[in-house]
Amino acid sequence: MMKLTGVQWLRFAIVLVLIGLVTEAITLIELTPPTFVVFAFLGLPCMIVGMLIYAVYVLRHLRKKDAL
């Protein structure tokens, strides 16, 4: 298994957040129970995981540079 670099983690986080945003946009266009389920089980988790990956990356980077 290959180890991901910092830039690859950031790209992965960006892709997850974009998937979440597209899912939210589709849900806002037509709000029906199936679209809400897709939003709740695909959109939100993708956004949360993407933001967590980004936050962990930023914290590690700041600690490495002795900014924290």
16 close to 49: Cβ distance less than 8 angstroms: yes
| Amino acid 2: pLDDT | 72
Token pair recorded at residue 7: 């830039």
Q: What is the pLDDT along the chain (68 residues), one digit of tens a residue?
A: 678 788 899 999 999 999 999 999 989 898 899 988 989 999 999 999 999 999 999 999 999 998 88
27 close to 39: Cβ distance less than 8 angstroms: yes
| Amino acid 46: pLDDT | 96
Cα angle for residues 15, 20, 24 (degrees, 5° grid)? 145
Computed over its alpha carbons, how large is the radius of gyration of the chain? 15
Q: Where are the domains of the chain?
A: 7-64
